Amino acid sequence: MPGHDKAVRQTSPDVEADLQLITDAAREAGQIAMRYFGKNPKVWMKEGNSPVSEADHAANACLEKTLMAARPDYGWLSEETTDNKERLGRERVFIVDPIDGTKGFINGSNQWCVSVAVVDAGRPLCGVLECPALGETYKAAEGGGALLNGYRLSKSNTAPNRLMAGPPKLLQTFKQETGEEIKPAPFIPSLAYRLAMVASDALVSAFARANSHDWDIAAADLILQEAGAALVGADGEKIKYNCTTITHGVLIAAAIDNIEPMLRAARLEDIS
The CA distance from 196 to 202, in Å, is 9
Whether residues 45 and 23 share a domain: the answer is yes
Q: Is pLDDT of 254 > 50?
A: yes
Residues 124 and 86 in one domain: yes
DSSP 3-state of 76: strand
The whole-number pLDDT of residue 159 equals: 66
In a domain, 244, yes or no: yes
- Is the model's pLDDT at 264 over the cut of 50? yes
Q: How many CA atoms lie within 13 A of 204 on its CB side?
A: 20
pLDDT on residue 262? 92
Q: Kindly write down the DSSP assignment for every residue of 87-105, as one continuous string.
A: GGG-SEEEEEEEEETHHHH
**Average pLDDT value over all residues in the chain:** 92
Using pLDDT thresholds of 50, 70 and 90, give the confidence band for residue 9: very low
How many Cβ atoms are within 10 Å of 43's Cβ, its own excluded? 15
Residue 171: is it exposed, middle or buried by C-beta count within 10 angstroms (0-12/13-18/19+)? buried
Instruction: Identify the H or E element spanning 164.
Output: strand 163-165
If one counts the domains in the chain, the total is: 2
Contacts of 179 (CB under 8 A, 6+ apart): none
Which among 20-34, 39-53, 152-166 has the top mean pLDDT?
Answer: 20-34
Q: Would residue 3 count as lying in a domain?
A: no
Same domain, 18 and 147: yes
Residue 158 lies in a domain: no
Express each pLDDT in 155-184 by its tens digit: 986 666 789 999 898 898 888 888 888 899
What's the pLDDT score for residue 162? 86
Mean pLDDT of 22-33: 98
Whether residues 142 and 214 share a domain: the answer is no
Domain termination site, one of 98, 131, 152: 152
231 and 185 share one domain: yes
> What confidence score (pLDDT) does residue 271 get?
52
Same domain, 135 and 180: no
Within-domain flag for 247: yes
Point out the domain boundary residue: 90, 122, 152: 152
Q: CA-CA distance, 50 to 45, in Å (whole number)?
A: 6
Residue 68 domain flag = yes
Q: Give the domain CATH number at 175.
A: 3.40.190.80
Domain range enclosing 180: 163-268
Residue-wise burial string across 147-158, b where 16 or more C-beta atoms lie within 10 A, e elsewhere:
bbeeebbbbeee
In a domain, 157, yes or no: no
CATH number at residue 93: 3.30.540.10
104-135 as b/e: b if 16+ CB within 10 A: bbbeebbbbbbbbbbbbeebbbbbbbbbbbee
Whether 1 has a pLDDT exceeding 50, the answer reads no
Whether the per-residue pLDDT at 248 is higher than 50: the answer is: yes
Residue 71 has pLDDT above 50, yes or no: yes
Amino acid identity, residue 249? Answer: G
Q: What pLDDT score does 11 carry? A: 62
Instruction: Evaluate if residue 272 carries a pLDDT over 70.
Output: no
Same domain as 179, residue 110 = no
Other C-beta atoms lying within 10 Å of the C-beta of residue 146: 27
**Three-state helix/strand/coil letters over 105-152:** HHHCCCCCEEEEEEEECCEEEEEEEEECCCCEEEEEECCCEEEECCEE
The model's pTM: 0.93
Same domain, 82 and 130: yes
Cα–Cα dist 15/34, whole Å: 28
Residue 8 lies in a domain: no
196 and 128 in a common domain: no
Q: Is residue 107 part of a domain?
A: yes
Name the domain boundary from 117, 152, 187: 152
3-state DSSP helix/strand/coil percent for the chain, to nearest 5?
A: 35, 25, 40
Q: Which of 10-14, 186-190, 205-209 has the lowest mean pLDDT?
A: 10-14
pLDDT at 269 over 70: no
Q: Do 132 and 184 have their domain in common? A: no
In whole angstroms, give the CA distance from residue 174 to residue 58: 41
Residue 105 φ then ψ, to 5°: -55, -50
* pLDDT above 60 for 38: yes
Domain shared by 30 and 145, yes or no: yes
CB-based contact 203:159 (threshold 8 Å): yes
Q: What is the dihedral of CA 260, 265, 271, 272, to 10 degrees?
A: 50
pLDDT at residue 199 is higher than 50:
yes
**Residues 144 and 237 grouped into a single domain:** no
pLDDT of residue 6 exceeding 80: no
pLDDT range class, residue 7, cuts 50, 70, 90: very low
Lowest mean pLDDT among 59-68, 174-183, 215-224, 243-252: 174-183
172: which residues sit within 8 A by CB, 6+ positions away?
none
Summarize the confidence of residues 89-118 as an average pLDDT. Answer: 97
